[in-house]
Structure 1
Amino acid sequence: MTDGHAKPPPRLGKGRHASVTAALTRPPPPGTTEAGTREPVTPAQAFDSLYAYCAPALTRQTYLLTGSQEQARHAVERAFQLTWQHWPEVARDRDPAGWVRATAYECALSPWHRFVPRRRLSDLPPDPADRALQDALLRLPPSYRRTLVLHDGVGLALPQTAAETEASTPAAAHRLIHARDAVAAHLPELAHPAELHRRLVRLASAGQPATAGSRGSPAAGGIAGPATGSPAEQTAGPEAVRTAGERSTRFWTRSAMAFTVAVFGATALTLRTAPTHYLAPVSPGHPVRGLPAQGMLGPLSAQGLTLSTKLRKQAAGGPERLTPQAR
């Protein structure tokens, strides 16, 4: 491992957990008591605070993974819909932002996006250098790309990166080394992790609508921190996301109920119409072959008619066949 691989990039996520914790609590209203007790927030208010904090940064990060603004927005909105559906679990998690980030990354790297034509197209950044970096990133395997974005883009430590990608620390280090080498092979000027981190931040902000002093500069939050602009410029509002999540839950619940009723109905119909005992199948009949057709031999001669009449008059088993005659 070279010095460039061993030296971690500068961390932009310092104080991230404290910021998320502060985002999940609401300042006391003007009528608070002298003890300074805070009014408890509702689940919807806590979700909206988490959404306002994480949605802009997640949109920039998923853009690095996919290269498509449409796919990045869809992944972030879908991740927050799942977050609202599992809100009791997310609210008790030690790192709610990490839970949402892992879900957004899974949605962004899902192979089902290839069946949606508009999400297969990449949004090329205006700068040729950013386009070259985007092309190098999209050439990486999804697991390598995710590890590189988490470590060199978001600024997570290697153990945290390994935990979020569900890999061991040596495996995550192996992916990181090979991802850096692959990017450096296309862009030698990005061999140093600090320069790679700076370019990742610039690429993540290249396709975002910039506001004065907000997006597009690492000082305004970069790829890991929140942006001061409105998140509605990139994704839908938190109320719309919550409504879409509830609508999706109702749809799948009703679909499951309808499927269950259909299964019970089919089972009842089968029990009603099925035979109660075994009926042996009747084998189909087969024509007898090998016999001459009627009238094929022609009429009998006079001698044949005489012999036939004589045979009909005699018994089939006469005494002469049972009692031997002495001759």
Structure 2
Amino acid sequence: MTETVSIPAPGHSPDPVPEPPSLPDPSAADGPAEAFDLLYERHVTPLLRQAFLLTGDWRTAERSVRHAFRLAWERWPEVAVDRDPAGWVRAAAHEYALAPWHRFLPRRTPRGGAQDVRDSTRDVRDNALDGVRAVVQDAQDAVQEEDRELLEALLELPPSYRRTLLLHDGLGLELPETAAECEASTAATAGRLMHAREALAQYVPELSRVAPGPRREMIRSLLEGLAAARPVPGMPPARAVREGSEYLARCRTGAALALTGLVAAATVLTAVTGPEGYTPRQEAPAVSVHTPDRGAAEDPGADGRTGG
């Protein structure tokens, strides 16, 4: 399940999340390109919202979704026969969005003097919570002011907790399905979910006052309200994504061939200009120095004289 539903968050009145357009099922498409295009058009917007909830940054969300669909087109024979192609793309987008190296990418300065959420959280909570805190760019433009604290709480969770909460409570996956997609055991997934809910309850006290069933619906509503607080950025058409995937594949193939040719040329050059072979050094034969016997040297017969 990748589409989000339109349930307004308690105490908020965000614009309703538009339902995805009514499109034919990708399995009924005429050819791989059309099937991919239908999958893209049906799921690109929900995946953008999910990636934003995981990262707090729309630019990272866009990169994650583009990467996931390019990878899907590159491996389309595998994706097309998967029992859940949308789930395949979702897993690729989530893994890319939560990759730890994103923190090393250059980020633009927020517009309008918007504060970095990490600094804001440090000032408000006096660094009471440990762990890695994600940097959210354009936070004041991306979410409503009343949602800001919830976004900070969500981003303070460890990435695995954040993903578990989104899949189980936000998207409605059951616990075994969530564990399989996160590549974790069911027991570990249940523990992550419990700790994530407890952390959110510190910011939204209403969560601790309801039963588990309504709590799940409330969290889903809160996440949807958070993602719907700003219009989703425009994405390139499906054809452009396919062409981009093919171009990158050609570049990688060309680079691999060039590297192979370079290694082969270096090997040939070494064989031509290098030594013909290793010849072990031959030791010179030992020369024995003969010292004549003193007695034989004094023998009168040694120099041809005869005694008389």
Distance of 2:24 and 2:188 partners within structure 1: 34
Q: Which among 52, 70, 73 is matched to residue 63 of structure 1?
A: 52
How big is each residue's C-alpha offset from its partner over 1:6-41, in whole Å with a ceiling of 9 and x where there is no partner?
xxxxx959xxxxx99942155xxxxxxxxxxxxx60
Aligned to 1:32: none
Larger radius of gyration: 1
Secondary structure, aligned partner of 2:206: helix
Q: Residues 80-132 of structure 1, C-alpha deviation per residue, up to 9 Å, x if partnerless?
A: 00000010111101111100000000111112212222285433134233111
Question: Aligned match of 1:183 in 185, 190, 200?
Answer: 200
Are the aligned partners of 1:20 and 1:50 in contact in 2 as well (CA < 8 Å)?
A: no
In structure 1, give the amino acid aligned to 2:163: R
1:265 maps to a residue whose letter is A
Q: Which residue of 1 aligns with 2:101?
A: 112
* Matching of residues 1-327 of structure 1 within 5 Å: 22-25=24-27, 41-118=30-107, 121-124=136-139, 125-191=142-208, 192-209=215-232, 233-278=233-278
Residues 160-205 of structure 1: CA distance to partner in whole angstroms, max 9, x if unpaired? 1011101111111111001111111233233333222111010011
Distance of 2:165 and 2:22 partners within structure 1: 23
Maintained 8 Å contact 1:147/1:161 = yes
Q: CA RMSD in A?
A: 2.9
User: Contact 2:179 / 2:189 at 8 angstroms: preserved in 1?
Assistant: yes
- 1:257-279 CA-to-partner distances (Å, cap 9, x unmatched) read 00111111111111112212337
CA distance in 2, matches of 1:122, 1:178: 26
Distance in 2, matches of 1:251 and 1:114, equals: 26
Deviation track 1:42-79 (CA, whole Å, cap 9, x = no partner) reads: 11100000000010000000100000011101100110
Report the TM-score when normalising by structure 1. 0.66
The amino acid that maps onto 2:278 is Y
Does 66-75 or 177-186 show the bigger shift? 177-186
> Any conservation in 2 of the 1:63–1:72 contact (CA below 8 Å)?
yes
Contact 2:49 2:227 (8 Å CA) reproduced: yes
Residues 55 and 136 of structure 2 are in contact (CA less than 8 Å); yes or no, is this contact kept in structure 1? no
The number of residues matched between the two structures is 238
Equivalent pair of 1:59/1:234 in contact (CA under 8 Å): no
Determine if contact 1:63/1:204 at 8 Å carries over to the other structure: yes
* Runs of 4 or more above 4 Å deviation: 19-22
Q: Which amino acid aligns with 1:196?
A: I
Residue-by-residue CA offset, 1:202-249 (whole Å, 9 max, x unaligned): 00111225xxxxxxxxxxxxxxxxxxxxxxx53211011111100100
Further displaced range: 192-201 or 244-253:
192-201
Structure 1 residues 131-165: Cα deviation after superposition (integer angstroms, max 9, x where no partner): 11110111111111100111111111111101110
Contact in 2 for aligned 1:66/1:122 (Cα 8 Å): no
The two structures have a TM-score, normalised by structure 2, of 0.70
3-state DSSP class of the match of 1:156? Answer: coil
CA–CA separation in structure 2 for the residues paired with 1:21 and 1:280: 77
Q: Give me the whole-angstrom Cα distance separating, in 1, the residues matched to 2:280 and 2:80.
A: 64
**Residues 159 and 20 from structure 1, CA distance in 2 versus in 1: closer, same or farther, beyond 3 angstroms?**
farther
CA contact (8 A) 2:47 2:90 kept: yes
Aligned AA (2:57): S
State the one-letter code of the partner of 2:59: E
CA deviations over 1:275-311 (Å, ceiling 9, x no partner) = 1233789xxxxxxxxxxxxxxxxxxxxxxxxxxxxxx
What amino acid does structure 2 have at the position aligned with 1:208? P
Q: For the Cα contact (< 8 Å) 2:73–2:245, is it kept in 1?
A: yes
| Structure 1 segments unaligned to the other structure (5+ residues) | 1-10, 14-18, 27-39, 210-232, 282-321
